[in-house]
């Protein structure tokens, strides 16, 4: 099973990321989404992401495994993690740390590849979506610390706010900026600016990597 996950790691990762980010398009019940769909999506993404680190050892692997258990436990036991303010902050930090490590490993593998293939294209798209996930949890963390950080965020729980924050992260990274959800504090504005810069830098850097690998062959 682990061999299968590693062999098709980029395909599975991309599929899981697309589910986590976009399947709310087809679900109109907010209660059903936050109670069943969101936990399933996050657990699936956690298990698929672990396949990126096939046969990795060392302190980073132990740290990654610890974060993995937290990432899976949070959506399975949301009533425990999301009832306490400080535990919620810890959970959001765990998500940010785990998917930052996954993103770093995906980028390392992309850079080490000598040829451009369909899998590498999927990996580069997964890298952008991983940035979107990490930025979303950073915005959720800021909103948890200060509930007045953003305007027009509805709901009281993390699953209820999640798809709204993902939407805000998407239009921030792509610099679309519709303006229906906006940062309301200096901290939130600077964080949004930071992720906007990261999103544009990723696009330029990845295009450069792909073109250089393609032309070298």
Q: What is the pLDDT of residues 50-84, one digit of tens each?
A: 888 765 566 667 787 888 888 889 888 887 888 88
Here the tokens at position 37 are: 């769909």
The region, left, alpha or beta by phi > 0 then psi within -120 to 50, assigned to residue 179 is: left
Tell me the longest C-alpha to C-alpha distance in the chain: 55
CA separation for the pair 69, 158 (Å, rounded): 19
Residue with tokens 């996930």: 133
Strand partners, 151: 182
- At 152-200, the pLDDT tens digits run 999 888 888 999 999 999 999 998 989 999 999 999 999 999 999 999 9
The helix/strand/coil state of 182 is: strand
């Amino acid at each position: 099973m682990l061999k299968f996950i590693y062999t098709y790691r980029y395909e599975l990762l991309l599929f899981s990321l697309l589910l986590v980010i976009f399947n709310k398009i087809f679900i109109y019940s907010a209660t059903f989404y936050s109670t069943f769909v969101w936990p399933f999506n996050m657990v699936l993404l956690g298990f698929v992401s672990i396949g990126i680190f096939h046969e990795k050892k060392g302190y980073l692997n132990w740290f990654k495994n610890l974060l993995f258990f937290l990432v899976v436990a949070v959506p399975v036991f949301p009533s425990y993690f999301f009832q306490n303010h400080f535990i919620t902050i810890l959970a959001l930090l765990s998500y940010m740390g785990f998917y930052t490590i996954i993103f770093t490993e995906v980028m390392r593998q992309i850079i080490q590849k000598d040829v451009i293939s369909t899998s590498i294209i999927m990996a580069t798209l997964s890298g952008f979506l991983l940035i979107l996930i990490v930025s979303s949890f950073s915005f959720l963390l800021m909103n948890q610390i200060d509930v007045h950080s953003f305007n027009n965020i509805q709901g009281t729980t993390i699953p209820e706010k999640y798809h709204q924050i993902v939407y805000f992260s998407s239009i921030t990274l792509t610099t679309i900026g519709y303006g229906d959800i906006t940062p309301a504090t200096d901290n939130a504005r600077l964080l949004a600016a930071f992720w906007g810069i990261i999103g544009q830098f990723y696009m330029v850097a990845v295009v450069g990597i792909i073109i250089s690998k393609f032309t070298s062959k």
